Amino acid sequence: MFQHRCKNISVLFLLIFLFTALLPLPLQAVELPLTAESAILVDAHSGKILYEKEPQKKLYPASMTKLMTLALAMEAIEAGKVKMDDVVVVSENAASYMGSHIFLAPGEELTLYELLLGIALASGNDAAVAVAEYISGTHEAFVDLMNKKAKELGMKGTHFVNCNGLHDPNHYTTAYDFALLARYALKYPQLLEICSIKHYRIRTETKRPFQYDNKNKLLWFYPGTDGFKTGWTEDAKYCFVGTCKKDNLRLISVVMGVPVPQGHFSETKTLFNYGFSQFTFKEFYQENEIIGEIYVGEGKKDKVDVIPDGKVGIILPRGEDQNITTEIELVPLVNAPVNKGDVVGHISIVKNGEILSRVNLLVKEDVAKGSLWQMMKKVFKGVVTM
C-alpha cells in the first residue's frame, strides 16, 4: 500500500516536471547586466513588458518628473486652454527656482513653446514652474493636476510634490508607473518632436542669449531615439525614461537609481539592444487606414468607410512572425444616424487558429439620417435600376 502510494506520488511529480518543462519561458528569461535599482522595457503599442527589474520599487524620479509636466501642457493645448505661441510672463516665484534652470527673470516674457523647450531640452526647474503656473494659476494647483492624472493612468506607486523633480521625501514613483506615463505621452506627436530637438537658442536679440542643449545624449549616438527625459539628484541618482523606434517597433525604457554618470544612457542602450534584437513588430494596418465599408440604411450616404481603433499589429519574438493572418468581422448594415467612432466590428490577428490580438473597427465619419425626399429618390433609383 505504501509502495503503491509512493509510486503514484513519483508519477505525479514526473508529470508536473514534464508539464512545466513544456511551458514557454517568461519573456525575462535573460539577465541583463544592469546596475539600476529598477528598470523596465515595454512595447509602446501594447504595453507588454519585455524586461523588468524591481519595476514596482518606489524611488525618486528627479527631473524625469518633467515628462508629466510636458504631457499635461500638451493636454491643455489639445483642449484649447492654451496655445504654443501664448506669451507667458514669468513670476518671481518661478524665477527663484535654481538647480538646473534657464535663468528666467521676474517679469520676463517667453512663449509657451520656448518654455516647453526649456523643460524638455535644458530641464529647467524654473521653466517647469512657469508653465505650471500659466496652466493652473499656481504651482500647487498644477501639482494636484499631476497627481490626478497619475491616478487616471493607473500610476499607483506615484506621488508628486512638485512639477520639476527637486528632491522631496514624499515625491516618488516607480519604473512601471513611468512606463505608463510614457505610453500616454506618445499620444502627443508634438511632445515627441520637442523632446527630439538637440539645440535651441532663446533671447537671441538681447544681452542675455541662451542655448538649450538637450540632456538626452542618446539622441546623438543611438539612432531611432526621440524621447524623453533624464533625471539626477544625489538621492535619486541617475534616471532616464526613453523611447526609441526602429522599423515598426517602438520601445519604452525606464531606468532608475543608476549609480554612475552616463550609466543611465548605457543601461538604456542595453535594454534597447535587447529589445530590438529579440523582438519584432508585425504591422497589418495603420491608424486611420480604411479597411472596408459598410452600408448605411436611411442615411444621406449609402456607405461609410471603416477604420481600426488604432494601429493593427503585434509584437512577437523574432522568427515567430510567420503564418499570422487577420480576420475581419463587420456588421453588414447600420441605420442612420451614424456617429463617427461607432463600433461596427473588429479585426483579429490570428496564428494557427488562435486569436493573438483584437482591435475594434470604427465608423470613420458621421452619417446623418436622410430626408424623406432623399429616401424617395433612392427608392425611385432602385426601381429604375430594376
Catalytic site residue 253? no
| Integer Cα distance of 190 and 76 in angstroms | 13
Which ranges of the chain does DSSP label H, i.e. alpha helix?
Answer: 2-22, 66-78, 92-95, 112-120, 125-136, 139-152, 175-185, 189-195, 218-221, 263-278, 372-385
Q: What is the dihedral of CA 94, 100, 102, 107, to 10 degrees?
A: 10
Distance (Å, rounded) from C-alpha 364 to C-alpha 343? 10
Nearest 5°: CA angle at 42, between 41 and 44? 140
Neighbours of 199 (CB within 10 A): 10
Give the integer Cα–Cα distance in Å for 347 and 98. Answer: 52
Parallel, antiparallel or unpaired: strands 292-297 and 279-285: unpaired
Catalytic residue, candidates 63, 100, 136, 253: 63
Q: Is 63 a known active-site residue?
A: yes
What are the φ/ψ torsions at residue 374 (nearest 5 degrees)?
-65, -40
Tell me which of 123, 136, 253, 357 is the catalytic residue. 123
How many C-beta atoms lie closer than 10 Å to residue 60's C-beta?
22
Judge whether 179 and 254 are in contact, CB under 8 Å: yes
Rg (CA), the chain: 26
- 3-state DSSP assignment of residue 167: coil
Amino acid at 240: F
Cis peptide before 337 (omega within 30 of 0): yes
> Annotated catalytic residue: which of 53, 66, 237, 245?
66
Catalytic residues: 63, 66, 123
